[in-house]
Structure 1
């Protein structure tokens, strides 16, 4: 019996070895390289003896980093909130209102934005929100404004709208999967016991859908902080986020150690916030139960 288990383990390891090796190659190796760079005094790998913590001291003491990091977290939180709030009704509609034979078609329609490049979608939002864009042209045609509105582009609101649209499918799909796993008999039992639809949703549907909501929030929150295209184009370069700061250090200033220290620090902050969010969600579910 033990030998059989060992053979199955060996077969499993053999099966996952190629993808595991690929994952280590394309994920772990770059991360380790950035981590190593963050301790160098300059950007050359030949100076492997000159390790220093000065890069991290500079990062943590820099008020500009504090301000940009807080802004990045705030924008990411707004985007996550807007995306999840808008994605939940769509996922709920797909799960409870759409006929089973038509769900595949609706999911197919949701994935259509992936057919175009992310950069093209950002440019399209710039065209829509621009000084002579679709919104301003439409309002002028209707006679609602005389001069184009200038506050709908190059600000945080425009960035939130663009990012929420870009990451909406990533939020809809995990919430939809969580809703699909809910046993419909539980909802019927709640109705039979005299609960209203609203209370049944609050006490049964929402807690059971929380794993999907948490997954959607993390899927949107983490990459949003690392986005640098939208702040550069939709923000007009006036509202830089942490990714723009890292890009400037890495490319414009050619200061790889400082850029790496910024990247590692940002990853640690995001990891701590994500773990805290997951812990609070588990506590919420225990209280609800």
Structure 2
């Protein structure tokens, strides 16, 4: 089974903090010694990672299609050997719809773009390169990082949960469409994990009592990537995946084959 250990060059989008940074460091330490490119919005953190031997690129993915196209083109041009991309960037806001006047629609749109639309856009722009590389025998990998809240939503973060559910659904469909091309989709599905994601909400002291330590999470994450698992649910998310999601991809595969047979008849 192809797995991330087969990669020669891995791009980690959103790697200046939290799970993205920890994952990038673990990937760089793999015995296969892939080149790891890290991106983020904070240049000072990218500078720190550059000192550790990472390739770096500054980008804010909450931008328009032209900006994302320019970013993808620049990566492919500078690193033609890139064969894997991991989408770790994400933002999370709380919205209270019982007080609709407090809902900041600009934040909501930004969350939707960062967590879903921009990722699908970048995947679309990366795919011609990946399909070409895969056609020559080098396996390629698209790795969205979703969330357990994409399976069982958190009503306090309704938009975040919806974006992760959308990305999870898209990942299933993308995996089916790319079956047999040599481009593999592996979806990482974290539980509540130690990170900076919640700092702006002021809940870190409370959440730190119940979240999964980052080191423990990262080990499970990398183990799944090295197995080549299509789905990598971790911690409580693994329980919810077993209860609500197991077998959904097989049903989707059957539906897709049926539609394909209709289109070819």
What TM-score comes out, normalization by structure 1 length? 0.25
Structure number with larger C-alpha Rg: 1
Higher strand share: 2
What TM-score comes out, normalization by structure 2 length? 0.26
Higher relative CO (CA 8 A, sep ≥ 6), structure 1 or 2? 1
